[in-house]
Amino acid sequence: MIRQKTQVAIIGAGPSGLLLGQLLHKQGIDNVVLERVSAEYVLGRIRAGVVEQGFSDLMEEAGVADRMKAEGEIHHAVEIASYGEVHSIDLSGLTDGKVVTVYGQTEITHDLMNARDASGQKTVYETIDVQPQDIKTDNPFVTYSVDGQLYSLECDYIAGCDGFHGICRPSIPDGVLKEYEKIYPFGWLGLLSDTPPVNFELIYIKHERGFALCSKRSETRSRYYLEVPVDEKVENWSDDRFWEELKRRLPAESAERLVTGPALEKSIAPLRSFVAEPMQYGKMFLVGDAVHIVPPTGAKGLNLAASDVSTLYRILTKVYKENRIDLIPKYSEICLRRVWHGVRFSWWMTSMLHSFDESEIEGRIRSSELSFFLKEEAGRRVLAQQYVGLPYEDVE
């Protein structure tokens, strides 16, 4: 057993773990990131693409925002089409100038990995059997193996940034966590292609054949999604079938403009809402997908992870610089207030725009609710405020 030591042990090298590591490093707080897979595998994941202002500001604070500012696309509006009628939601006009940035999660991860490598901070990839230990004591540590050698990483705190299928949440004893979960009766079939996006703004589409979403990674790379049955198999979807179905669901004008091409990636993701409370136990904090999951309809997954990171980074900075250990117990309550707003908005967008097996009156009530939020300014303002992201809460 080789013994190592750091101040904060971060488990997971996704956006949560890497952003937290970079922010702590900028404050002179030593941290080590332990990741189960290779850096290449992490970068191969095709994930979200919409960044709230709070996340952009955090990337700036971490000193890793240059490429996002140069290559990310500022969006002042988003479009929602309901049964062929397109509504443009004026995000900036309805939120005193707030915007979202379209910039792929893969690029964010790239930027964070490059910064971490350049700073010489320790990241251990392809670890085996990472296991938080003695979480409830003053001397927690994390055991893991690499190349057959067993290590013990002693630390002051553990940040569980290891995603929904990670080890940290399950390391908390039974009976401590209260878990909330909702599984949706459909999935999203996503396609990535090197074709010009059909529209500058993102388009969320409610259609009798099912939901669709037109997004992008750049002006030459598009990202599209189709609602499919929860048990659908990606093998059933040739590129041609995908493009034909997307055209059927697009508003007429967009369907005419659609440029198709070979899929670079095609996959089906299930949709769920999930929250575990509390988000901390002893000296371990749960962050991002490790403790909450939202359906991607609200573009909140990555952005809720960022607000968790912001809260934890600010608390730990005060702990190390001002000995504010009184702030430690506040992490979970602060995060959960914003998390539940994100969970609700993501559930609401999903409920408004997808097809459900429901009575006719429920269908009409659902359509009437969406119509209010698309056509009345009061409703559009609420939608815009939630989409650009609610403010981050101070830690005191």
Residue positions annotated with a catalytic role? 75, 204, 296, 300, 387
CB of residue 190 to ligand PHB, shortest distance in Å: 7
Tell me the C-alpha distance between 337 and 339, whole Å.
Answer: 6
Q: Which is nearer to ligand PHB, 223 or 283 (CB)?
A: 223
Torsions phi, psi for 18 (to 5 deg): -70, -40
Question: What token pair was written down for 365?
Answer: 């009530």
Q: Which of 255, 185, 252, 253 is nearest to 224 (CA)?
A: 255
Q: Which of 84, 74, 92, 107 is nearest to 203 (CA)?
A: 84
CB of residue 301 to ligand PHB, shortest distance in Å: 8
Nearest-CB residue for ligand PHB: 49
Tell me the C-alpha distance between 113 and 217, whole Å.
Answer: 19
Asked if residue 12 binds ligand APR (CB under 6 A), the reply is yes
Residue 169 to residues 289, 363, 381, Cα–Cα distance (Å): 10, 38, 36
Instruction: Using CB under 6 A, pick the residue from 8, 9, 10, 13 that binds ligand APR.
Output: 13
Q: Are 388 and 100 in contact (CB under 8 A)?
A: yes
Q: Which is nearer to ligand APR, 130 or 316 (CB)?
A: 130
- Give me the 129-148 binding string for ligand APR, x by CB under 6 A, dash otherwise: -x------------------
Asked if residue 113 binds ligand APR (CB under 6 A), the reply is no
CB of residue 220 to ligand APR, shortest distance in Å: 23
Q: Are 102 and 215 in contact (CB under 8 A)?
A: yes
- Which range binds ligand APR by CB under 6 A, 35-43, 69-77, 191-199, 232-240? 35-43
Q: Are 298 and 5 in contact (CB under 8 A)?
A: no
CB of residue 169 to ligand APR, shortest distance in Å: 10
Asked if residue 334 binds ligand APR (CB under 6 A), the reply is no
Tell me the C-alpha distance between 349 and 387, whole Å.
Answer: 10
- Which range binds ligand APR by CB under 6 A, 193-201, 272-280, 297-305, 316-324? 297-305
User: Reduced to 3 states, what is the DSSP secondary structure of residue 268?
Assistant: strand
Instruction: Give the up-direction half-sphere exposure of residue 196: CA atoms within 13 A in the CB hemisphere.
Output: 6
Residues at the site binding ligand PHB, with contacts judged by CB under 6 A: 48-50, 202, 213, 215, 223, 296-297, 299
CB of residue 48 to ligand APR, shortest distance in Å: 4
Asked if residue 201 binds ligand APR (CB under 6 A), the reply is no
CB of residue 360 to ligand APR, shortest distance in Å: 34
Q: Which residues contact 67 (CB under 8 A, 6 or more apart)?
A: 107, 111
Tell me the C-alpha distance between 254 and 224, whole Å.
Answer: 13
Residue corresponding to tokens 């005419």: 256
Instruction: Using CB under 6 A, pick the residue from 295, 301, 342, 389 that binds ligand APR.
Output: 301
Instruction: Using CB under 6 A, pick the residue from 5, 37, 38, 233 that binds ligand APR.
Output: 37
Q: Which parts of this chain interact with ligand APR (CB under 6 A)?
A: 11-17, 34-37, 42, 47-48, 105, 127, 130, 161-163, 166-167, 288-289, 301-302, 305
